Structures are given as structure tokens and as C-alpha cells.
Structure 1
Amino acid sequence: MTQPSERKVLRYSVSLVTQGEHRFYTLTMPSEVLAETCYVVDRFDDPIEGFQRTLDKRRASEIAEYVDSGLGTIPSSIILSAQPEAQLKIVGQGKTLEFTSHKKAFMVLDGQHRVFGFSLAKTNMRVPVVIYNGLSRSDEAKIFIDVNSKQKPVPSELLADIKKLAEYENQSEEYMRGIFDKFHGNSDSALYGLVSPAKASKDKISRVTFNLAIKPIIKIFASRSDVEVYSILNSYIHSCRFALKKMDYSDGITSPTVFRAFLSIFPDVAQRVKSSGGEYTFDNFWNVIMPISDKIKISQMKKANNSFKALAEELIKAIKTDFVL
């Protein structure tokens, strides 16, 4: 065990920043030093003093892999609060920060997964850091709240849309993109004007919603191209929209719940079409789902809320017909 007298004294060049009533220091620090000197207090470990979220080890491992890939760059600052164990002081005419290396030298106010990820990584890297000093526990909690409530995350719809530009798409995502883009751009699309590629929109189907709906059924298309998949699904969705129109609920297809429910029953509908020896056309799909417009009420659609699985079960019941020999 390292004795207090044996603890390292570390020094780094800093800049003093004043924002409102707070002052803090900005600097860069080796990731291995962060891993050795930072800690968190979460609500599970200490319900009285803790305020951090429970650590997601999977997320930290992903950060470590990203760093070790050699391509990783994490420019956002880790925000820390110096603790008494750090014995922090400013030397060198106010331009150098000095502290004692201790496992509880700094409490993490923002960036706990990055810090833990750095500890798991084999690669050491220089990391931007912000250090507050002399904060009370109340001040630390307030800054934690401010940091996590004022920062607005990038919408998942935008991230999904720019993955191609970043060359981050996997094969499945690239395949789904091709299908979505055809629904977005083709004038014969059943969803023409009703999809939104880069942002969530109240009356449109976002790329994220589309992917959630189509991903579970992709496997049934085997080796078909995205052009073929679009053609088949377009005929199917046209028939779904026709059913909704007969129910006087034309706009219902843009409801994420309704859209995902109809897509989730597609394999059952397609199987019935195939069993009857028919092609995957609008007419043949309509012959299967026709009972939906008579047996399902608009109120059932609207009451489904976010439970697309429950609505899908009702749709399946509706298309089942009594067997006659």
C-alpha cells in the first residue's frame, strides 16, 4: 500500500477561467492519471451524498475499444471537483496546478464513463480536463445538474442520417438506408412526403422509427436487393394505407405505433400471399388485410399508445379467417 509520503506530486500547466460566480482551471491530463485519481459517488452506493448515475460497464468498454483503435478522439472535457486528498494548489505565478496523486483526489462531475473507459484502455492519451476547487457537496450536485440538463444531446435521427457521411454504417444499416431513401425520394412511394430523414417530426416517420420497424423483418427477404425489398414493402404499405383510409384514419400510418404494428405483421401477411400462390402486389396484400378495416376501430389504433406489439396482436386476430373445408 502506498503511504502518504510516497504519493506522487503532479504538476500541469493551467488556465484560470471565470464564469459567473464560479472559477475553474482548464488543462490537459494523461488518461492514465485520470484513471488513478478520479472517483464517483452514485445514488446506489451512497443515497445521501451520491448524485452520479450507475456506471454502464458496457459503455465504458466501448470507449476503451474506441481509444485503442488508434482512431479515437474525445475532445470534450472531463469535469472534476478537487477533493481535500488532492492537496491542490496553484504554483508558478498562477500558471501551474499541483496536486497529490490519490485515488480520491477528484470527484467526477461529468465524464465518468470516459474516465472508466480510459482505465480499461491499453492506450494512454492526453485528455482535456476542467477542475473546480473548493466546492461544497451542494455545489457539486448543482453543477452536475446544470451540466446534464443544459447540454442537449444530438438527436438520434440526425446521428442515423449522417452515419453514411462518417463511414460508420454497418452492412445492415446501409441496407436499411437504401430502402428508406427510396421511400423518401420515389414519387410512387406509399410514404412519399411522410418520412423525415434527419429529424423527428410529429406527422412523419423518422429514419429511426423506420429502422426499428424494418430491422426485425429484414431477414425474411434473404438476398433480395434493396430495390426489390422497396417494391414489395411499397405495395404492402400502400395496402395498409388503403385500409386506414377506409377506417377514416388516413394519417394513422405516420404514428410510430401504427407503422411498427403493420410492419411487424408483414411476415404473416406475406406468408398468406405466398401460400395462395400470388405475387407480392397491392391487390394480393389487400385481399389478406382487408378484414382489418372492418374489424379494427380507430379507437383501438389510438389507444395503443406506444404498445405496437399489442396492436399487432389485434391486427393478426383481424386477418384470421374461420377455416372451412
Structure 2
Amino acid sequence: MKLLFFILCQNSSNHVKRVKSIREYSETNDAIFSTSIIISGSNEYVSISENILYIDVDFIKDNDDFFSIVDGQHRLVGISESSAAEKFTLPVILIFNTNAPEDAQIFSSINGNQKPVPKSLIYDLFSYADQRSLERTSHIIGKELNNNNNESPFFGEIEDVSCC
């Protein structure tokens, strides 16, 4: 049984580009979505029994009431439009009994305070990969050509964006 969500889809070019980007990423071999989808709705539709959460979808339909997506709209649309949608299990956080202004505040808090991971850390993490990849190989070659023993003719000529 699937949950019903009211999704307010934007038709802006940024929305279309973001959804397309997520759809394309979800179809790659290394795609992973670890960030929770945050939804809000009334707790009157939810019950817990023996550590299992149940959502009464029929009751929601009958009352013409839906859960709203506070954060993760683009991920849900992009993944659902991809050919790989069935391979993903997404983490979800349920927030109960909030109103639209509270949902907007939650969204603003989450998205207004996020800081991207430094590129240097991302590049350094490629060196730990078990499998060969363009990123891992480029990182290792660049570090070796730029090694600090002054024997490389490229010493100091390659920008090292790594943090370590």
C-alpha cells in the first residue's frame, strides 16, 4: 500500500533541472539517497503496534486529507521518474500535527543551515575507494605528481585541493 502525498510541484526551470539531475543520478550504479524525506500530517491516521507503524490510507482518502512533504520533494519526483525507482528504500521522518507555517519553518531551518562538504574532503575520500574509478585514479596520480620530495618536475604546479 502506498502513502498519498500532496506534492506542490513547481514548474520553474530550476525545479525541472533539479528533478532531471536527481533522475539521472538515481540511474547510476553508485546512487544512494541517505538523507531523510520529511513529511508531516495528522497523527490520527497513524498507529503503532508491536514496533510497526501503520498508516490508515483509506481514512486519509475518506477525509480528503494528505501528508505533505516538508523536505525531499525533488528527490521523490526525480527518483519516481527514473527507471531505477524500485531499487531505493528511502528514510522518512514523520512530523505530526504541524501547520503550513510550521512546515515552512522546518524547511527553512533545514535548508538554510546546511553547509556543503568541502571539496577537498570529497577528493581525499576517493583515495579510499576499493574499486578503480576516474576520480580515484586522478586523485592518486595528481598527489604523486605533486609529491613534496621535490623530485617531481610537477612539484608545486598541480593545485592540491585535498585537506590531508
Q: TM-score, normalised by structure 1?
A: 0.37
Cα deviation, residue 135, structure 1: 1.6
SS at match of 2:91: strand
Bigger relative contact order, structure 1 or 2 (CA pairs below 8 A, ≥6 apart) = 2
- Residues 190 and 63 of structure 1, relative CA distance in 2, 3 Å threshold: closer
Unpaired runs of at least 5, structure 1 = 1-9, 11-32, 45-52, 200-325
SS at match of 1:198: coil
1:39 and 2:7 are equivalent in the alignment = yes
Report percent identity of matched pairs.
Answer: 21
- Residues 124 and 174 of structure 1, relative CA distance in 2, 3 Å threshold: closer
Q: Which residue of 1 aligns with 2:109?
A: 146
Cα deviation, residue 110, structure 1: 2.0
1:90 and 2:46 are equivalent in the alignment = yes
- Alignment of structure 1 residues 144-183 onto 2, 5 Å: 144-166=107-129, 167=131, 169-170=133-134, 174-175=137-138, 177-183=140-146
SS at match of 1:54: helix
Letter in 2 for 1:117: G
Question: How many residues are aligned here?
Answer: 151
- Residues 190 and 118 of structure 1, relative CA distance in 2, 3 Å threshold: closer
Runs of 4+ in 1 over 4 A off after TM superposition: 41-44, 92-95
1:59 and 2:15 are equivalent in the alignment = no
- Alignment of structure 1 residues 1-325 onto 2, 5 Å: 33=2, 37=5, 39-42=7-10, 54-55=15-16, 56-66=18-28, 69=29, 72-82=31-41, 89-92=45-48, 96-100=53-57, 105-119=66-80, 120=82, 121-166=84-129, 167=131, 169-170=133-134, 174-175=137-138, 177-188=140-151, 190-191=155-156, 195-198=160-163
Cα deviation, residue 77, structure 1: 1.5
Cα deviation, residue 184, structure 1: 3.9
Letter in 2 for 1:138: P
Paired with 1:107 and 1:98, the residues of 2 have a C-alpha distance of 14
Cα deviation, residue 181, structure 1: 3.4
Cα deviation, residue 95, structure 1: 5.8
Paired with 1:168 and 1:39, the residues of 2 have a C-alpha distance of 40
RMSD: 3.8
The structure with the largest alpha-carbon Rg is 1
CA contact (8 A) 2:124 2:162 kept: yes
CA contact (8 A) 1:118 1:124 kept: no
SS at match of 2:68: strand
CA contact (8 A) 1:39 1:106 kept: no
Q: TM-score, normalised by structure 2?
A: 0.66
